[in-house]
Structure 1
Amino acid sequence: MLDTALLLAAAFVAGALNAVAGGGSFLTLPALVFTGVPPVVANATGTVALLPGYMASAWGFRQDMAAPPGLSLRAVVVLALLGGSLGAALLLVTPDATFKKIIPWLLLAATALFAFGPQLRQWAGAGQHGSSAFKAGLGMLLVAGYGGYFNGGLGILLLALFGLLGQTQLNAMNGMKNLVSALLTAIAVAIYAAGGIVQWPQALLMMLAATLGGYAGARVARQLPAGALRWGIVTTGLVMAAMFFYQQ
């Protein structure tokens, strides 16, 4: 009963965080691990729980989507699916012991991306706009692969990539971010399921809580100071990373 309450609470807050600013995986992954789910399975199960939120966000931005310079919309879709597949396949062959050692470093990297996201996007926007199709495709493939393996900080990486490629319209950038996130997460979830590394009772329970949290988060987003929310998420990420380091 206590484990169920923890998973429901973590998923609800994670859904709310993703609706407002991101960072939901900082809660779902540790909550599953702390309730006894093996690390690789926990990563996959937590990703399944957050998939509806990605799909809803992509649908909400469907009219604003525009491919970044150097890539067509078809190329973005193909690369998102390919990268997500490769990242998910890599997770399947990662031993639990190895992934447990990697988790705190991934959490730290994702936390840093979240903390310095505005500066990273500003740097990307001030950089050299435009790129060759090869470099644009390679960047998209690498970021999608990261997302298929570990979802944390994915949105920041995608926005930075689109800025480097020369995309300047924020709505278009967010639309593509949500589309790529939904696509690579969907294909990754399919591979996780085929590989038998999803614990469906927990996933479905958390999926419902995350969806409710996303709705609640969207409603209260305007009442929360953006700075306080951002640093609250950063603090959560650092605490979770420290706890995983302590357990090693």
Structure 2
Amino acid sequence: MLEVLLLMAAAFAAGVLNAMAGGGSFLTFPALVFTGIAPITANATSAVAVSPGYLGSALGFQAELARLPRRLLVQEGLICALGGLLGAAALLVTPAKLFSTVVPWLLLFATGLFAIAPRLLARRQNSATHPLARQLGLLVVAIYGGYFNGGLGILLMALYTLSGERDLHTANALKNLNSLVLSLLSVMAFAWAGAIAWPQALLMMLAATIGGFFGARLARKLPTTVVRSVVILTGVVMAGVFFGRG
């Protein structure tokens, strides 16, 4: 019962964080590992737990997505689908011991990226980069997202703003839609491989959805700097714990 409460609390808090600033995977993944789930299974289950939030976020930006060329949406959706599958496949063939060694470094990378994200997003270019460079960058980010979900939204936002998307709402819409696409494909791959702890995943999906609802309201009241500080502190502490566990 204590483990169930821990997982639901972590998922609820992750839903709140994702609705406000991102970084929810910093809570769901460690919570699953601490309750005895193997790291690779915990990573796959964490991806399932936070996935409902992507759908809600994408629906919230329907107006922005409707103004974009359908060809662009389909093209980038296919790239993210491919990247999500490749990343999931890479995770499934990674030896458990190697992944356990890499985890704290991935957490540190995602935390550092989250910390410098405002500076990255402020560097908005006046001219768009070459479409091929944007597509290759998107594929790399999608592979990372399929392999390890932490920091995915931050990477996508940085990619879109630095590749010429001047409207942050449009960049956010693309980020949410493509996060949903690659997450769905990677989750399907994890499910096919039997890498998901479904009882925990279903409980956490429910709690994360409720957390996302309350997080959207709370976002209007708490200063963004406070939320960001909590996310960064959480990421550093969790990385330290994983380093300490060897």
Residue pair 1:104, 1:241 contacting (<8 A) in 2 also: yes
Q: Does 1:145 align with 2:146?
A: no
The 1-side partners of 2:127 and 2:158 are apart by: 12
Deviations 1:19-52 (A, max 9, x none): 1110000000000000000000000001101111
Deviations 1:188-241 (A, max 9, x none): 000000011000000001000111111111111111111111011100000000
Residues 117, 67 of structure 1: alpha-carbon distance in 2 compared, 3 angstrom cutoff = farther
In structure 2, the partner of 1:208 is: 206
List aligned pairs for 1:12-91, cutoff 5 A.
Answer: 12-65=12-65, 72-91=72-91
The 2-side partners of 1:35 and 1:9 are apart by: 13
Amino acid at match of 2:135: G
Which of 157, 176, 179 is the matching residue for 2:177? 179
Contiguous gaps of at least 5 residues in structure 1: none
Q: Does 1:167 align with 2:189?
A: no
The 1-side partners of 2:221 and 2:238 are apart by: 26
In structure 2, the partner of 1:104 is: 104
In structure 2, the partner of 1:132 is: 130
Deviations 1:128-160 (A, max 9, x none): 732223212111100111111111111111111
The 2-side partners of 1:172 and 1:15 are apart by: 22
Secondary structure of the structure 2 residue equivalent to 1:22 = coil
The 1-side partners of 2:122 and 2:218 are apart by: 27
Segments of 4+ in structure 1 off by > 4 A? none
Deviations 1:35-75 (A, max 9, x none): 0000000000011011111111111112112659xx82221
Residue pair 1:25, 1:152 contacting (<8 A) in 2 also: yes
In structure 2, the partner of 1:158 is: 156
Amino acid at match of 2:239: A
Secondary structure of the structure 1 residue equivalent to 2:108 = helix
Aligned residues: 244
Contiguous gaps of at least 5 residues in structure 2: none
- Once the two structures are aligned, what percentage of the paired residues are identical? 53
Q: Does 1:6 align with 2:6?
A: yes
TM-score (norm 1): 0.95
Amino acid at match of 1:139: G
